[in-house]
């Protein structure tokens, strides 16, 4: 079956391209005939239909696999409120919590709950709900994959709408996590009444939309929550159609069956955005392409690492393979992240790469050899990108053998420190904090780290518990500079999310990549 | 004798399923990639990973896991899906009807198209027009079901947008049905508006599955018809003045049906296999679509449940075909 997925991916792109080319101008017929006009009228009538790229496995946003799947968070944030909300530019703003913070010596946290918020069943959101949600998330037996963050605070006390808790271990990113993975407030009384199974069948939250109907693997229908504390959503009904195949999503928007879709091939985006009745917009998101370097031979040679970095023309890759939809980067911090430092540059310089390799005795005729692993079809043009990079490397004296693997295998190899010397991956960081990019990707003890060297353990280690935020961010910038100078990872580019929607819709794209229906309205 | 053969095969069902269970269980755990590695979040320590592994019982030796799972399966409990967090058995009960109805509709369409193509081809036997029919059947056979799905998707979803291209029903409509056999229940309850709405959504994926199968039926049936038509009894009937269409329908067709059912029936298993990709392309909510998600998420209990379900369906289908052939063929019935 895994093979079938690969076949599907391959055939989808091949046949899509060729069939659409054959179809040519005929494809404009439904658009010209006003078919899409119906769709806009459909939207104006109060229903927004989104062709969504993943299925929703589970409604509980705090437990299991789906809790740590960033792609599903758009749906969760439509139904549930995170503790703290996030603005389109990744900054944080009041959500169900209106105030939050540490005391001076960072030994306590203070949270203030918004007054007047209600669950979808009409009952009020209480401080007890907040405490119960935090305690449940911190329970080692609860199945929360981020439990290690939530367990760092405990002994909560409630005073009116204010909650205080003791810091058991200082976690500088605690409040940032409250805006993202598993950082949701759930209804204590309702959950205890219906149980986990009952909650899956009839979930309620306090978000702008409540669940109206759910057909697994088919669609989720939401209705506006009349008691929502925030701005009233523009659409009374929202339908998420789960259309996981990109070809089918393109067809769905072309046929007028949906009002909006995203995560489609860039070639299709360019074609569709110029079609009558459709509009397109792009947004750089908090997801980067990178190549892990594992500290095994020959990557223990600094010259080889730096040559591998300087030999890659990232702009050419973005321009030619991604149609210009990408932002080349030099560190694991993309523009907009808290520790982004534009002064750190890793230039494209094949001559420098050659001279570095020559110092270690390698030339194009006598190249250094290693394996690079990559997925194929997991991210747009991933395999083609690695092919291009291998071509660039060959010119300077690096002979890399490409090995294709599935993403699940990547995770397992990475956790076991068994990746090849070079391995392609995409790293998401929706909260934009350096600890969740450079920190976890480059700190030896982390299961996500491929570079286990002591140099970075010593540099990053003290930053985990750094209580001075400015000092912490400056520390990460220094680490990023050091990594760039040592070539211990190869950052490639920041991804750009393509969104296609019917004209007549105003879509506020989020830097964290979420498509939130509450931020979509008739233009 | 044939009945004895069927009983012998029934006896072999449990060991066959056991073998399938062993293979899928061991393979899943030997191949790199497990659900915990998919679940590890940034910052998780070795202890956090071990805790999650223990939570899902994956820290136990494979044999221990297998015995525990087999014990559960024995009492009808396929375990709990790791990604969906529901009973695998309940999930299968919910989604299997959608796939069965799709396969049923595809089979009906394939029988009609294949049967008509075979009869047309045999009626045109020896003429140039026969080539056209054979060529058309060849085209149907040459294109695999998932490619038919893409062609139909673009043709009837985009170029001439007559039919919906995603889902099993319209998300705006509440069906108010009691079972998950939406189509069959709607038919039984006489809710023909619902039947029409369901068929509206099912026709394209069913057609994509049906077309290659129709070609197989057409080829098998036409060859069988040709062979039967050349037999003495058909020639005698012709000499006695019966019209050719009448002989074909009343004398030749019943005899040609036996090898077609025997060979073509087994091909329905291909149709079942095809649902995996076709359901995905049309976002149809059957077990094929669910299987892909299960594999992507390395949802071991769900994959195991799905593979066993597919195995049961394949075995059952083969038995049904044998049973039908035995009923149709008096030589087999009477040994």
| Per-residue H/E/C for A440-468 | HHHCCCCCCCCCCCHHHHHHHHHHHCCCC
Pick from B40, B84, B86: which is nearest to A411 by CB? B40
Pick from A245, A252, A415: which is nearest to B37 by CB? A415
CB contact under 8 A, A216 and B84: yes
CB contact under 8 A, B146 and A257: no
Residue B61: per-residue pLDDT:
87
CB contact under 8 A, B166 and A413: no
Contacts of B2 (CB under 8 A, 6+ apart): B322, B326, B332, B333, B335
Checking if the pLDDT of A230 tops 90, the result is yes
Collect all residues of chain A within an 8 Å Cβ-Cβ radius of residue B303: 1
Mutation for B interface: A11, A57, A172, A198, most B CBs within 10 A: A57
Collect all residues of chain A within an 8 Å Cβ-Cβ radius of residue B159: 23, 26-27, 29-30
CB contact under 8 A, B164 and A143: no
Mutation for A interface: B50, B171, B175, B303, most A CBs within 10 A: B171
Report how far residue A430's alpha carbon sits from residue A476's, in angstroms, rounded to the nearest whole number. 17
Pick from A217, A247, A255: which is nearest to B150 by CB? A247
Mutation for B interface: A1, A8, A261, most B CBs within 10 A: A1
Torsion of CA A484, A175, A167, A96, to 10 degrees: -170
Report how far residue A85's alpha carbon sits from residue A83's, in angstroms, rounded to the nearest whole number. 7
Instruction: Give Cα A269 distance to the centre of its chain.
Output: 20
Q: What percent of chain B has pLDDT over 90?
A: 41
CB contact under 8 A, B158 and A255: yes
CB contact under 8 A, B83 and A65: yes
Contacts of A19 (CB under 8 A, 6+ apart): B150, B151, B154
**Residue B19: which pLDDT band, with cuts at 50, 70 and 90?**
very high
SS (H, E, C) A148-205: HHHCCEEEEEEECCEEEEEECCCCCCHHHHCCCCCCECCCHHHHHHHHHHHHHHCCCC
N-to-C CA span, chain B: 5
> Which element (helix H / strand E) includes B44?
none
CB contact under 8 A, B52 and A143: yes
Residue B77: per-residue pLDDT:
87
Question: Do the Cβ atoms of A242 and A74 come closer than 8 Å?
Answer: no
Pick from A35, A64, A447: which is nearest to B161 by CB? A35
3-state helix, strand, coil in chain B (%, to 5): 75, 0, 25
CB contact under 8 A, B32 and A413: yes
Question: Do the Cβ atoms of A329 and A480 come closer than 8 Å?
Answer: no
User: Comparing C-alpha atoms, which of B206, B193, B216, B183 is closest to residue B288?
Assistant: B206
Return the higher-pLDDT residue of A440 and B330.
Answer: A440
DSSP label of A517: G
Interchain contact B77–A (C-beta under 8 A): no
Task: Write down the residue that tokens 């540099």 correspond to.
Answer: A459
Report how far residue A393's alpha carbon sits from residue A348's, in angstroms, rounded to the nearest whole number. 12
Interchain contact B292–A (C-beta under 8 A): yes
Tokens of A254: 């072309």
Closest alpha carbon within chain A to B180: A215
DSSP label of A225: -
Q: What percent of chain A has pLDDT over 70?
A: 91
Closest alpha carbon within chain A to B47: A148
Question: Do the Cβ atoms of B319 and B6 come closer than 8 Å?
Answer: yes
Give Cα separations from B194 to A174, A202, A431, B8, B186 (angstroms): 51, 25, 46, 43, 6
Task: Write down the residue that tokens 């069927």 correspond to.
Answer: B6
Maximum average pLDDT range among A274-288, B229-243, B254-268, B305-319: A274-288
Average pLDDT, chain A: 89
The region, left, alpha or beta by phi > 0 then psi within -120 to 50, assigned to residue B176 is left
Residue A9: per-residue pLDDT:
40
Helix axis angle, B192-229 to B128-142, nearest 10°: 130
Pick from A55, A412, A435: which is nearest to B293 by CB? A55
* Closest approach of B284 to chain A, Cα-based (Å): 6
Pick from A63, A245, A440: which is nearest to B281 by CB? A245
Mutation for B interface: A24, A259, A408, most B CBs within 10 A: A408
Checking if the pLDDT of A36 tops 70, the result is no
Closest alpha carbon within chain B to A245: B281
Collect all residues of chain B within an 8 Å Cβ-Cβ radius of residue A2: 295
Written as one string, the DSSP assignment of A88-131 is TTS-EEESSEEEEEE-TTSSEEEEEEPTT-B-TTSPBP-HHHHH
CB contact under 8 A, A15 and B150: yes
Checking if the pLDDT of A472 tops 80, the result is yes
CB contact under 8 A, B277 and A8: yes
**Residue B334: which pLDDT band, with cuts at 50, 70 and 90?**
low
User: Comparing C-alpha atoms, which of A162, A183, A186, A163 is closest to residue A174?
Assistant: A183
**pLDDT tens digits along A137-151:** 999 888 888 898 999
Provide the β-strand partners of residue A214. A220
Collect all residues of chain B within an 8 Å Cβ-Cβ radius of residue A237: 172
Question: Do the Cβ atoms of A354 and A287 come closer than 8 Å?
Answer: no
Residue A519: per-residue pLDDT:
94
**pLDDT tens digits along A495-522:** 999 999 999 999 999 898 899 999 999 9
**pLDDT tens digits along B103-115:** 999 999 999 999 9
Report how far residue A387's alpha carbon sits from residue A434's, in angstroms, rounded to the nearest whole number. 30
Residue B159 has phi, psi (to 5 degrees) of: -70, -50
Closest alpha carbon within chain A to B34: A408
ipTM above 0.90, yes or no: no
Tokens of A335: 């523009």
Collect all residues of chain A within an 8 Å Cβ-Cβ radius of residue B50: none
Chain B residues 126-165 within an 8 A CB cutoff of chain A: 146-147, 150-151, 153-154, 157-161, 164-165
Checking if the pLDDT of A27 tops 50, the result is no
Interchain contact B44–A (C-beta under 8 A): yes
**pLDDT tens digits along A211-227:** 999 988 889 999 999 99
Give Cα separations from A383 to A204, A321, A406, B107, B287 (angstroms): 41, 11, 12, 39, 30
**pLDDT tens digits along A358-415:** 999 999 999 999 999 999 888 888 999 999 999 999 999 999 999 998 887 888 888 8
**pLDDT tens digits along B72-104:** 888 888 888 888 888 999 999 999 999 999 999
Collect all residues of chain B within an 8 Å Cβ-Cβ radius of residue A244: 280, 283, 292-293
Average pLDDT, chain B: 87
CB contact under 8 A, B167 and A215: yes
CB contact under 8 A, A64 and B174: no
N-to-C CA span, chain A: 43
**Residue A459: which pLDDT band, with cuts at 50, 70 and 90?**
very high
**Residue A45: which pLDDT band, with cuts at 50, 70 and 90?**
low
Closest alpha carbon within chain A to B176: A213
Report how far residue A264's alpha carbon sits from residue A16's, in angstroms, rounded to the nearest whole number. 12
Interchain contact B176–A (C-beta under 8 A): no
Pick from A8, A64, A441: which is nearest to B146 by CB? A8
User: Comparing C-alpha atoms, which of B246, B251, B258 is closest to residue B220?
Assistant: B258
* Closest approach of B36 to chain A, Cα-based (Å): 8
Checking if the pLDDT of B39 tops 60, the result is yes
Report how far residue A251's alpha carbon sits from residue A31's, in angstroms, rounded to the nearest whole number. 12
**This prediction's pTM:** 0.83
């Amino acid at each position: 079956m895994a093979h079938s997925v690969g076949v599907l991916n391959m055939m989808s792109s091949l046949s899509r391209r060729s069939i659409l080319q054959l179809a040519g101008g005929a494809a404009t017929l439904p658009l010209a005939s006003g078919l899409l006009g119906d769709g806009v009228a459909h939207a104006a009538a109060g229903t927004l239909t989104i062709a969504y790229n993943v299925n929703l496995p589970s409604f509980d946003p705090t437990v299991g696999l789906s809790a740590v799947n960033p792609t599903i968070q758009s749906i969760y944030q439509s139904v549930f409120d995170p503790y703290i909300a996030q603005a389109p530019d990744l900054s944080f703003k009041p959500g169900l919590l209106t105030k939050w913070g540490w005391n001076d010596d960072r030994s306590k946290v203070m949270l203030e709950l918004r007054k007047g918020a209600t669950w979808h069943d009409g009952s009020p959101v209480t401080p007890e709900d907040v405490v119960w949600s935090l305690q449940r998330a911190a329970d080692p037996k609860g199945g929360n994959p981020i439990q290690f963050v939530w367990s760092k605070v405990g002994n909560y006390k409630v005073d009116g709408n204010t909650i205080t808790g003791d810091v058991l271990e200082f976690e500088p990113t605690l409040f940032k996590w409250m805006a993202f993975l598993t950082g949701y407030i759930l209804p204590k009384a309702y959950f205890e009444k219906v149980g986990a199974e009952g909650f899956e069948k009839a979930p309620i939250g306090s978000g702008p939309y409540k669940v109206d109907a759910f057909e697994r693997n088919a669609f989720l229908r939401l209705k506006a929550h009349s008691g929502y504390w925030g701005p009233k959503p523009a659409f009374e009904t929202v339908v998420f159609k789960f259309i996981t195949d990109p070809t089918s999503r393109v067809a769905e928007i072309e046929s007028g069956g949906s009002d909006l879709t995203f995560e489609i091939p860039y070639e299709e985006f360019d074609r569709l955005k110029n079609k009558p009745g459709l509009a397109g917009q792009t947004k750089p998101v908090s997801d980067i392409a990178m190549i892990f370097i594992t500290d095994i031979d020959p990557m223990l040679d600094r010259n080889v690492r730096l040559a591998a970095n300087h030999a890659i023309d990232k702009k050419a890759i973005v321009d030619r393979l991604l149609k210009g939809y990408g932002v080349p980067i030099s560190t694991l911090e993309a523009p907009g992240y808290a520790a982004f430092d534009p002064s750190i540059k890793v230039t494209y310089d094949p001559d420098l790469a050659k001279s570095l390799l020559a110092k270690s005795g390698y030339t194009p005729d006598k190249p250094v050899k290693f394996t690079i692993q990559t997925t194929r079809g997991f991210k747009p043009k991933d395999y083609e990108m690695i092919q291009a990079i291998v071509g660039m490397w060959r010119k300077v004296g690096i002979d890399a053998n490409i090995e294709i693997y599935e993403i699940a295998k990547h995770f397992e190899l990475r956790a076991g420190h068994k990746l090849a010397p070079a391995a392609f991956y995409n790293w998401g960081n929706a909260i934009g904090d350096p600890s969740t990019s450079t920190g976890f990707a480059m700190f030896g003890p982390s299961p996500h780290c491929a570079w286990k060297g002591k140099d970075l353990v010593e540099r990053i280690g003290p930053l985990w518990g750094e209580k001075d935020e400015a000092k912490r961010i400056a520390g990460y910038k220094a680490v990023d500079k050091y990594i760039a100078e040592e070539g211990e990872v190869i950052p490639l580019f920041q991804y750009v999310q393509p969104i296609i929607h019917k004209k007549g819709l105003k879509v506020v794209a989020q830097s964290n990549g979420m498509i939130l229906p509450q931020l979509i309205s008739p233009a | 004798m044939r009945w004895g053969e069927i009983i012998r095969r029934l006896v072999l069902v449990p060991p066959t399923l056991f073998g399938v269970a062993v293979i899928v269980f061991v393979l899943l755990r030997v191949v790199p990639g497990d659900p915990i590695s998919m679940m590890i979040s940034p910052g998780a320590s070795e202890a956090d990973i071990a805790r999650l592994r223990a939570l899902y019982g994956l820290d136990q030796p494979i044999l221990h896991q297998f015995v525990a799972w087999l014990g559960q399966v024995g009492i009808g409990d396929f375990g709990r899906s790791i990604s969906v967090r529901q009973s695998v058995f309940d999930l299968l009960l919910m989604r299997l009807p959608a796939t069965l109805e799709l396969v049923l509709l595809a089979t009906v369409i394939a029988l009609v198209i294949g049967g008509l193509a075979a009869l047309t081809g045999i009626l045109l036997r020896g003429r140039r027009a026969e080539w056209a029919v054979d060529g058309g059947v060849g085209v149907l056979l040459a294109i695999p079901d998932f490619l038919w799905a893409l062609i139909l998707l673009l043709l009837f979803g985009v170029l001439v947008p007559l039919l919906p291209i995603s889902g099993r029903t319209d998300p705006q409509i509440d069906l108010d049905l009691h079972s998950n056999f939406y189509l069959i229940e709607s038919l039984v309850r006489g809710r023909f508006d619902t039947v029409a709405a369901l068929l509206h959504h099912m026709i394209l994926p069913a057609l994509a599955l049906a077309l290659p199968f129709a070609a197989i039926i057409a080829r098998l049936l036409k060859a069988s018809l040709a062979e039967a038509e050349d037999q003495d009894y058909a020639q005698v009937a012709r000499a006695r003045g019966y019209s050719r269409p009448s002989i074909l329908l009343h004398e030749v067709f019943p005899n040609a049906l036996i090898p077609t059912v025997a060979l073509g029936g087994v091909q329905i298993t291909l149709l079942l296999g095809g649902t995996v990709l076709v359901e995905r392309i049309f976002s149809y909510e059957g077990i094929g679509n669910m299987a892909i998600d299960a594999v992507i998420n390395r949802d071991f209990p769900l994959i195991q449940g799905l593979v066993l379900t597919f195995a049961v369906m394949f075995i059952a289908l083969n038995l049904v075909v044998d049973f039908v052939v035995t009923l149709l063929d008096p030589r087999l019935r009477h040994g």
